[in-house]
């Protein structure tokens, strides 16, 4: 454990320096995080046309999607795209020779990316907040309550995304499987719209499925519509899905690495 | 005539390369299919709460979604592979191999790399268009098809001109910025009719990154909402854009000095 923690300062330094070199590309890529929620907001604004849908008016939709933009950035991970390439090109092999698990490198890159992009994204978010004038029935205690939810969400999403990514150990068709995972996340993870506006069966499925607890649960907390009990229950469910994600990660990794054979392995 | 032979050769090369990976084709088909179903599901959820979206009814937006996939398929087949290759070769100095060939450089650079498999998106888009408009009179017919093809063609020429102009800036700013990603981000906004966006964004999506011309305008022609005047204006704009870009490209070429020059 000390081994691993001792490696992190170097891992983070390398990740930071590497990404700083490609900052233009990073920024262009980060724009996706703005595009999807903004399009969804435009759709729901046009759909509501001034009316209230499931308790959401224009400004609350704006609040929801702007929060989703911010928390989406803070919980995102991209290993599903990269891991397949690592496996197929054999570039995973040298990483297996290190005395720490290969997963720590992507964690370092993930954290560095999120922090680095804040420099560019935070002003954009501020402008969007000023432009859309979002509003929600938030109370003061919702903000500190959202912090553990956010950290748990980021960790849960990272692990689950990594598990999906590890399917690359067995097939080259990871993109198709990833598309399925992403599609389900759109509905059950509150990306298309708040779970409250979804039809009943989606809402019920989404209430307990892991997707909600990977990104949108902190958003719901800050939106101020959850009671204290619901927040606590939600945090407990997050811990549950985080645990499941970790177990799944360990199991899939052990199975996958056993049959990994590539250049240098 | 040689120009046509080159195009056929490109197509054949792409087909031969891709027939070797048939399983991939099925996976990509499944992937696109899931993407379509996701957007259809989203529309179904949205239309549970409203009858129209910025004046567009559900089946009209589904038709637009079909046009969206027709367009992304065409972009992915012919446009993005070639644009990416031009930028790479300018940076690496290997564009010389293109310039030395006895054929118009801009033409050959625009057609030499084709990714036929992305036509599956176009195919699915056509199916979606046909299905959504099956009960609309006047949408199917020779005049409607002609209007649509003209509008789509004009839109694609405008988008091509815009993209090539961006790529041509590589002759001056050699460092590769991932321009393709920005275009895809703008195209993503075209998944829904541009009418849902505020006016300033609609302007941006029409005249800055011309997504509206390539998706919303052809869709309106399918729904009989595009006047002949507007269509003529789009075609004129396409012609002007093409001429301007061709001129800009020649300027850029003059600037180019390859790895060996």
Interface contact flag, B54 A24, Cβ < 8 Å:
no
Domain residue spans of chain A: 2-258
Comparing C-alpha atoms, which of A42, A132, A135 is closest to residue B46?
A42
Question: Is residue A44 within 8 angstroms of chain B, CB to CB?
Answer: yes
In chain B, where are the structural domains located? 2-43+53-255
Does pLDDT of B258 surpass 70?
no
pLDDT of residue B70: 95
Percent of chain B with pLDDT over 70: 96
Say whether B196 and A183 touch across the interface (CB within 8 A).
Answer: no
Cβ pair A44:B46 closer than 8 A = yes
Confidence grade of residue A51 (pLDDT, cut at 50, 70, 90) = confident
In whole angstroms, give the CA distance from residue B58 to residue A44: 14
Q: Considering only CA atoms, give the Rg of chain B.
A: 19
Tell me the helices (H) and strands (E) count for chain B, helix number first: 13, 0
Bridge partners for A56 per DSSP: A53
Looking at per-residue pLDDT, the higher value among B173 and A110 belongs to: A110
The contacts found for B205-214 with CB under 8 angstroms, 24 or more apart, are B209/B162, B209/B182, B209/B183, B210/B155, B210/B158, B210/B159, B210/B162, B211/B159, B211/B186, B211/B187, B213/B154, B213/B155, B213/B158, B213/B159, B213/B237, B214/B71, B214/B152, B214/B155, B214/B156, B214/B158, B214/B159, B214/B187, B214/B190
Q: Tell me, what's the pLDDT at B156?
A: 94
Digit-coded pLDDT (tens) for A93-144: 899 988 899 999 999 999 999 999 999 999 999 999 999 999 988 888 999 9
pLDDT for the residue A263: 60
What is the pTM assigned to this prediction?
0.90
Q: Which residues of A touch B54 (CB under 8 A)?
A: 46
CA distance A24 to chain B (A): 7
Quick check: B95 and B167 in contact, CB under 8 A?
A: no
Dist CA B162 CA B107 (whole Å): 15
Q: Which of residues 15-34 of A touch B (CB under 8 A)?
A: 24-25, 28-29, 31-32
With cut-offs at 50, 70 and 90, classify the pLDDT of residue B259. low
Residue A97 DSSP code: T
Indicate whether B119 pLDDT > 70. Answer: yes
Q: Which two tokens stand for residue A125?
A: 């978010």
A interface mutation test: which of B22, B53, B76, B180 has the most A CBs within 10 A? B53
- Average pLDDT for B83-90: 88
Rounded (10°) CA dihedral B129, B130, B136, B142: 100
B56 forms beta bridges with B53
Report pLDDT for B136: 74
Provide the pLDDT for residue A53: 85
Q: How close B143 comes to chain A (CA, Å)?
A: 32
- Looking at the DSSP bridge assignments, the partners of residue A53 are A56
Cα–Cα distance, B65 to B77 (Å, whole number): 18
Distances (CA, A) of B258 to A253, B104, B175: 47, 18, 15
Confidence at residue A121, expressed as pLDDT on a 0 to 100 scale = 95
What is the percent of chain A where pLDDT is above 70? 98
Q: Which of A229-238, B14-23, B35-44 has the lowest mean pLDDT?
A: B14-23
Name the residue facing B182 among A28, A43, A173 (closest C-beta): A28
Identify the band that residue B247 occupies on the pLDDT scale cut at 50, 70 and 90: very high
Q: For B161-178, what is the mean pLDDT? A: 84
Asked if A28 lies within 8 A of B192 by C-beta distance, the reply is no
Q: Where residue A66 falls among pLDDT bands split at 50, 70, 90?
A: very high
pLDDT in tens, B122-163: 999 999 998 888 877 666 678 888 889 999 999 999 999 999
DSSP state of B204: I
Q: Could you read off the pLDDT of B183-234 as tens digits, one per residue?
A: 899 999 999 999 999 888 888 888 888 888 899 999 998 888 888 888 999 9
Location of structure tokens 């002007």: B240
Check CB contact under 8 Å for B196 and A43. yes
Tell me, what's the pLDDT at A45? 92
CA–CA distance, A84 with A87 (Å, rounded to integer): 5
Do A35 and B189 count as a contact with CB atoms less than 8 A apart?
yes
* Contact at CB, B185 and A35, closer than 8 angstroms: yes
Tokens of B195: 């009418």
Query: Which of A29, A176, A202 is nearest residue B31 as measured by Cβ atoms?
Result: A176
To 5 degrees, how large is the angle CA B210–CA B215–CA B218?
115
Q: HEC profile for B66-135?
A: HHHHHHHHHHHHHHHHHHHHHHHHHHHCCCHHHHCCCCCHHHHHHHCCCCHHHHHHHHHHHHHHHHHCCC
The tens digit of pLDDT for each residue in B69-80 reads 999 999 999 999
Q: Give the chain B residue nearest A24 (alpha carbons).
A: B177
ipTM of the complex: 0.88
What residues of chain A lie within 8 A of the CB of B212, using their CB? none
CB pair distance less than 8 Å for B23 and A173? yes
pLDDT at B141: 75
Q: Which of B22, B25, B27 to mutate to test the interface with A (most CBs of A within 10 A)?
A: B27
Contacts of A175 (CB under 8 A, 6+ apart): A84, B27, B28, B31
Q: Is A21 exposed, middle or buried (0-12, 13-18, 19+ CB in 10 A)?
A: exposed
User: Is residue A71 less than 8 Å (CB to CB) from chain B?
Assistant: no
- CB contacts < 8 Å between A and B, how many? 87
């Amino acid at each position: 454990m000390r081994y691993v923690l001792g490696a992190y300062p170097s891992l983070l330094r390398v990740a930071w320096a590497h990404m700083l070199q490609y900052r233009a590309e990073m920024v262009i890529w980060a724009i996706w995080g703005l595009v999807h929620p903004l399009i969804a907001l435009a759709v729901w604004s046009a759909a509501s046309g001034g009316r209230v849908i499931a308790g959401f008016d224009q400004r609350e939709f704006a609040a929801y999607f702007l929060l989703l933009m911010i928390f989406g950035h803070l919980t995102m991970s991209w290993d599903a795209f990269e891991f397949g390439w690592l496996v197929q090109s054999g570039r995973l092999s040298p990483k297996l020779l290190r005395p720490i698990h290969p997963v720590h490198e992507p964690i370092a890159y993930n954290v560095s990316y999120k922090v680095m992009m804040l420099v560019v994204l935070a002003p954009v978010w501020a402008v969007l907040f000023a432009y859309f004038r979002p509003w929600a029935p938030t109370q003061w205690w919702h903000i500190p309550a959202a912090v553990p939810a956010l950290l748990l969400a980021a960790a849960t999403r990272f692990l689950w995304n990594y598990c999906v990514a590890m399917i690359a150990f067995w097939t080259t068709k990871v993109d198709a499987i990833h598309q399925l995972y992403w599609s389900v996340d759109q509905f059950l993870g509150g990306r298309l719209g708040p779970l409250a506006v979804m039809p009943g069966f989606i809402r019920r499925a989404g209430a307990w499925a892991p997707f909600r607890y990977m990104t949108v649960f902190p958003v719901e907390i800050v939106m101020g519509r959850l009671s204290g009990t619901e927040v606590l229950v939600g945090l407990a469910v997050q811990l549950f899905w985080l645990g499941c994600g970790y177990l799944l990660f360990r199991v899939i990794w052990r199975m996958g690495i056993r049959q990994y054979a590539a250049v240098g392995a | 005539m040689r120009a046509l032979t080159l195009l056929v050769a490109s197509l054949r090369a792409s087909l031969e390369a891709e027939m070797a990976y048939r399983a991939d084709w099925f996976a990509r088909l499944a992937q696109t299919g899931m993407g379509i179903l996701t957007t259809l599901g989203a529309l179904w959820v949205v239309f549970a709460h409203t009858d129209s979206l910025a004046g567009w009814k559900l089946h009209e937006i589904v038709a637009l979604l079909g046009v969206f996939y027709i367009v992304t398929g065409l972009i992915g087949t012919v446009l993005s592979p070639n644009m990416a290759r031009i930028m790479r070769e300018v940076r690496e100095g290997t564009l010389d191999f293109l310039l030395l060939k006895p054929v118009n450089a801009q033409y050959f650079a625009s057609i030499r790399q084709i990714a036929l498999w992305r036509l599956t998106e176009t195919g699915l888009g056509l199916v979606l268009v046909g299905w959504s408009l099956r009960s609309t009179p006047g949408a199917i017919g020779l005049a409607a098809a002609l209007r649509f093809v003209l509008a789509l063609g004009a839109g694609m020429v405008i988008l091509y001109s815009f993209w090539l102009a961006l790529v041509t800036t590589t002759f001056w700013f050699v460092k590769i910025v991932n321009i393709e990603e920005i275009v895809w981000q703008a195209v993503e906004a075209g998944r829904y009719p541009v009418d849902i966006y505020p006016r300033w964004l609609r302007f941006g999506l029409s005249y800055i990154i011309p997504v509206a011309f390539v998706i919303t305008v052809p869709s309106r022609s399918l729904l009989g909402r595009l006047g002949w005047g507007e269509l003529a204006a789009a075609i004129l704009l396409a012609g002007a854009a093409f001429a301007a870009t061709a001129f800009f490209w020649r300027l850029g070429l003059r600037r180019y000095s390859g790895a060996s020059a």
